[in-house]
Structure 1
Amino acid sequence: MKKVVLTGGSAGIGKAINLFLLRKGYEVLFTFNNSSQSANEIIAEFPNAKAFQIDFSNPEQIHNFLNEIQGFKPNILINNFYSGTFIDTYFHKTESDKFLADFQTNVIPTLQITQECIKIFRKEKFGRIINILSSSLKSPAMGTSVYNANKAYLLQMNKSWASENVKFGITSNSISPAFTLTDFHKNMDERQVENILAMYPLKNNLEGKDVAEFVELCLNGGSHFNGNHVFLDASNS
């Protein structure tokens, strides 16, 4: 049975990926913070699911999760977690503390978790890393500078992870889904949401299950499918 570490697996796109993999028979260790009810429902339904509650701004909890990963011994890592907002304010109005706080909460834990998993993958001579980013990297909305900067940092890291580890049977790829309406966007203005969805080339907009299905393609893509960044957006320009 393939063993997956999935960050942010109880809501939104992460939940869709989680349920998809669990139904396929994968064993999934997933994180959650505020979505306790959803997490409990998942572990109640699937014996191959294991939940870990964590606040990624808490170093002690991160340390405990890294220890959990060591015992779990995964061969797949899906970096999906993001805490904060998609649209905040204009770059010139953003407080400097905001840049640092969001980086420490979202990027640093992702790096630590990826380091821990790579150590395990290298010993086993196999591993798959998938990073869930955003199509906002292609066409940034106003007020998303902090969010996009953090996603772009992870995109560049993906290239390093791919080149440094492929000889150990490890691949690293990134997926940037088109706008997918989830609780993450609940504070967005309705007109912004309508404008984004109106520009999408397909009548049926992207859903979490569409991302989950592409994740499986990455998992089964073989050792030559490595270092890629795919925009899952119906070729939307």
Structure 2
Amino acid sequence: MDLNINDKTVLVTGGSKGIGKAIAKAFAEEGANVVICSRGIEELNNTKKEIEEMGGNIHTVQADLTKQEDVDYLVSSAIDRYQKVDILVNNAGIASGFDDFESIDIEEWKSLFDVNVFGTVRVTKAVIPYMRKNKYGRIINISSESGVQPDPFMPHYNASKAALINFTKSLSKAYASEGILVNTVSPAFIMTPLLEDMLKGLAAKQNVDFDTAVQQFLKENRPHVELKRPGTVKEVASTVVYLASEQASFINGVNLRVDGGSVASQ
């Protein structure tokens, strides 16, 4: 299947680790020009080296998406390097632990929304004019299962991911006539380094092996993951690449869940 993205330029926020890194590598494998950003320079450099060793074309920018000047520099740097941004993957996001509603103060709500929601808004606003000029664009926002099936904990995180899904739908209606398609990908229980570390800590605390800890967590917290295993970052990345390709040119405004059946509704 020819995805027809080998001449495209893709910008992946939060692209130096976890799901973002897997997305960046998947696009590089398809021959796209890849721009990634992150706050951590060491992780950026490591990912850059990995993709270059694959033969990929990559440009890295250290950026904090809560700062407008960093966002402006990120997008202008991508344009200076490749003259266009065809595909934007808004992946950057944070979580702040499994806290309950009453223990989360308003400043923590603001801080999380500033990254998860307003960071996405800032980058999208900066990129959209270039897509409109070229009458072509693909925007994929990375949300979460928690955006449609929230847990009783982390209400600020859950709400931020729900906001992204709604934001996606709004943009999909606003820009489709200009050749810009906007979709959401919502992963659930993906084995990122962050999840792996959490599960290793859980295994140590309960004095069980890692696989047992995984199954216990699934049973207690993700009982509807019908595949009874975590997803992989590659499974998320391949979904994102497909949505950005010409093979998905009639898909717009959807929330595509990569969740092993975890969301109990249709």
Question: Same fold per TM (> 0.5)?
Answer: yes
Change (3 A) 1:110 1:69: farther
Structure 1 vs Structure 2: percent identity of aligned residues? 31
Q: Match of 1:3?
A: 9
Unaligned runs of 5+ in 2: 1-6, 204-212
Matching residue within 215, 232, 236 for 2:258:
232
Between stretches 76-85 and 56-65, larger displacement belongs to 56-65
Q: Match of 2:237?
A: 212
Which residue type is aligned with residue 197 of structure 1?
Answer: L
Q: For residues 202 and 102 of structure 2, what CA distance do their matches in structure 1 show?
A: 24
In angstroms, what is the RMSD of aligned CA positions? 2.2
Which residue type is aligned with residue 153 of structure 1?
Answer: A
Q: For residues 140 and 195 of structure 1, what CA distance do their matches in structure 2 show?
A: 19
Q: Match of 2:210?
A: none
Is the CA contact (8 Å cut-off) linking 1:8 and 1:82 kept in structure 2?
A: yes
How far residue 203 of structure 1 moved from its aligned partner, in angstroms, is: 4.4
Unaligned runs of 5+ in 1: none
Q: For residues 91 and 144 of structure 1, what CA distance do their matches in structure 2 show?
A: 7
Q: Match of 1:177?
A: 187
Is the CA contact (8 Å cut-off) linking 2:138 and 2:181 kept in structure 1?
A: yes
- Relative to the length of structure 2, the TM-score reads 0.80
How far residue 137 of structure 1 moved from its aligned partner, in angstroms, is: 2.3
1:149-160 equivalent positions in 2, closer than 5 A: 149-160=159-170
Q: Deviations over 1:17-55 (max 9, x none)?
A: 111110110111111222245234235424411111112
Q: For residues 61 and 116 of structure 1, what CA distance do their matches in structure 2 show?
A: 11
Change (3 A) 1:76 1:114: same
How far residue 147 of structure 1 moved from its aligned partner, in angstroms, is: 1.0
Q: Secondary structure in 2 aligned to 1:148?
A: helix
Q: For residues 228 and 98 of structure 2, what CA distance do their matches in structure 1 show?
A: 28
Q: For residues 9 and 98 of structure 2, what CA distance do their matches in structure 1 show?
A: 36
Which residue type is aligned with residue 145 of structure 1?
Answer: P
1:1-237 equivalent positions in 2, closer than 5 A: 1-34=7-40, 35-45=43-53, 46-71=55-80, 72=82, 73-85=84-96, 87-185=97-195, 186-187=197-198, 190=202, 194-198=215-219, 199=223, 200-220=225-245, 221-236=247-262, 237=264
Larger CA Rg, structure 1 vs 2: 2
